[in-house]
Amino acid sequence: MLYLHDIWVNWFEGEENGYNVCHFHEWRKDDQIELLDQVPLLKVSPALFHYIENSLSELPKPLLDDVHQKAYVRKNHERIQLDYCFVVTDGAGVLAVDTIGYQIPIRKSRLIPRQEQLVYEMAAEAEERDYPLRGMKKNTTFYRRLRN
């Protein structure tokens, strides 16, 4: 599994639509920026990436098992372990995700451009991980368009 280190995130909580998760150039000075000390990187199918980005539906269990307690956040010189936090890409888009202990992607963030470029370079040589979407909630129009 690939890992990223020292990743800046600006969490947006409860955003169902990916367009509500602001890109770096839209972040404000008063936003709460967190530093992820270590976070796993997953390359997934475009269908799964858009499922995660554009819904608050349950994530596949194998994905959650793969990232369980493998991420750490740095706060006040402490390294705090996170249950289900990861960076996901399909090779075209990048998103940081934290479930805060649940099975749905509650918090989402974009990355800063330099770190986003690093993800693209790492993902170019990585194999796409296959996580089944069968049985998952498939109500987004975008997801249906991807499947057809």
Closest by CA position to 24, among listed 85, 120, 113: 113
For the segment 40-93, what is each residue's pLDDT rounded down to a tens digit?
999 999 999 999 999 999 999 999 999 999 999 998 889 999 999 999 999 999
Chain centre to alpha carbon of residue 24: 15
For the segment 121-137, what is each residue's pLDDT rounded down to a tens digit?
999 999 999 998 865 55
pLDDT at 148: 46
Whole-angstrom Cα distance, residue 113 to residue 143? Answer: 26
The helix (H) or strand (E) run that includes residue 61 is helix 61-67
pLDDT at 117: 97
For the segment 79-90, what is each residue's pLDDT rounded down to a tens digit?
999 999 999 999
Closest by CA position to 36, among listed 8, 67, 64: 8
pLDDT at 84: 96
* Residue % of the chain over a pLDDT of 90: 79
- pLDDT band of residue 15 (cuts 50, 70, 90) is confident
